[in-house]
A and B are shown apart, each in its own frame.
Chain A
Amino acid sequence: MYYNLILSIVLFFLLFLLREGRSWLKNPLGIEYCCAVLLFLLSLAYTLDLVQGWHLMPNPGAIFAKLKPLSDLLEII
């Protein structure tokens, strides 16, 4: 149920961005506020993901874990 609610919010937001985003991006002040809002939204998304334990958001830690062989090599040294 909650997944659908979140999906609806994302859809509404994307539609809003499609309709209104262009006019915002033409204005330098609009770009500044768009970036700020995007950062707030990303923070909110990561917080929700962390609190609920969904693990849906991309985690760079998983990419860095691929460097384990290199790290092991250095440790063997």
Chain B
Amino acid sequence: MENKTLSSQQIAFMIFLFLTGSSLVYIPEIAARQSAWIACLLASLIGVYIIIILLALFTRFPDMSITRISELLLGKIAGSVLNILLFFSLFLIAQGLLYNLCLLLGIIYPTVCSFIHRSLVLFSAAYCIYRGPAALGRLCESFIGLILFFFLLGITASFPIMDLSELKPLWPEWKPLLSGVFFVADWPFAQLLILAFFFPLVQGLKEKKKAFIGWYLLAVAILIFEDLQVISILGQELAEISRFPLLKVNRLTGFGEFRRVELFFFILWFIVGFTALTVYYQGLVLNLKELLRLENPRPLILPLGLFLMVFTSYMYPSDLNYITTRLRYVPFYTISVNLLYLTIIFIAASLSKRRLSRHSRGEG
């Protein structure tokens, strides 16, 4: 296999690892309180929408990048404006993933400076990207077994301490549920748009539609179980104020005499968090390459990583800045751009298809 192609199985694993990695340490749907899992279930429809539309677009325009498709369908100016908005949205999401992963590393290694964490994580991700998208695919393939084992272990270990009465009353009012659906639709479901940069690298997309949806649904099931786990173990109030509720949950679980098992789960968090960040970093490089019409994206990898690190520190100099800006204001931009971008391109593609069929009928 060439270093520029991905197998459909690798993409399916990527969907799973990305979804679980993107929201493993931060649970945005907690805004819906006890109904967080319902919010997650409802918002998962956004992810299905994105996957189905992307599959439809890339079945019609195989081997073409999404940026080229948008310029082809909308014209150069409108297409470029949309592409720039999308780049900025993806950049903001990558910042969030980097910030969260390094914040988690800061809890495990508190004496190491956050800049060193960020540099080390980005160097490792850059190495992976230098090896090509296939290396990322192989990374997903090699870690999937270990990750599934840890998820299963987490589920089994937490069952004895789950108190399902904490989940009551279910669906008390629709307003917090709406708020929860909004935030979880943005993080992680609308972030699946990054797959648009990987789908052109896959052969036989349409035949593997069921596998993609299957792994997606498995990730959604894990996310829903995590919501149930966090609320039933920590309670709604503690879950709402916790920065890393899953870390707290794993701290409370244990196997007989074994305690501090959360350190084992650190492997799980790091791998899935790192995979999500690398997927986004790779997607950003591919997007910038297409935007600037470059033949070789390699000279952009390290400068873009450095800019990502510096800009993250500039935009979010403290955790308070991050919580207010990234978690409260930025979702309004990212979810709108991600969903509108895809919807506009899909509508334009449908209209052009209809026009073409009408034109060919007229000629006939």
Contacts and interface: CB of A to CB of B under 8 A. Distances in A.
A28 B293 CA distance: 9
B292 A31 contact: yes
Nearest to A55: B314
B264 interface: no
A36 B329 contact: no
A40 B325 contact: no
Contact of A39 (B179, B304, B333): B304
A5 interface: no
A77 interface: yes
Contacts of A46: 307, 310-311, 314
Interface string B170-193: 000001101100100000000000
* Interface residue tally on A, bucketed by range: 20 to 34
Interface in A53-76: 57, 59-61, 64-65, 67-68, 70-71, 74-75
Given A28-B294, A71-B328, A77-B179, A64 B306 contact: no
A35 B306 contact: no
A4 B321 CA distance: 31
Given A31-B292, A33-B299, A77-B179, A64 B307 contact: no
Contacts, number: 80
A31 B294 contact: yes
B303 A67 contact: no
* Interface residue tally on B, bucketed by range: 20 to 34
A61 B332 contact: no
A40 B305 CA distance: 10
A74 B181 CA distance: 11
A6 interface: no
Interface string A8-38: 0000000000000000000010011101110
A36 B299 contact: yes
A56 to B, nearest CB: 11
Contacts of B317: 50
A32 B293 CA distance: 9
A42 interface: yes
A57 B330 CA distance: 19
Given A28-B295, A64-B325, A39 B306 contact: yes
A64 B303 contact: no
B306 A74 contact: no
Nearest to A77: B175
A42 B307 contact: yes
Contact of B300 (A35, A60, A67): A35
A39 B307 contact: yes
B360 interface: no
B315 A61 contact: yes
A68 B325 CA distance: 9
A37 B299 CA distance: 9
B130 to A, nearest CB: 14
Contacts of B182: 74
A9 to B, nearest CB: 18
Nearest to B316: A61
16 contacts: A28-B294, A32-B294, A32-B296, A35-B299, A36-B299, A36-B300, A39-B307, A49-B314, A50-B317, A60-B92, A61-B316, A64-B333, A65-B325, A65-B329, A67-B333, A74-B182
Given A35-B288, A61-B325, A75-B179, 15 more contacts: A35-B300, A40-B303, A42-B307, A43-B310, A47-B310, A57-B314, A64-B329, A64-B333, A67-B329, A67-B333, A68-B328, A68-B329, A71-B328, A71-B329, A75-B328
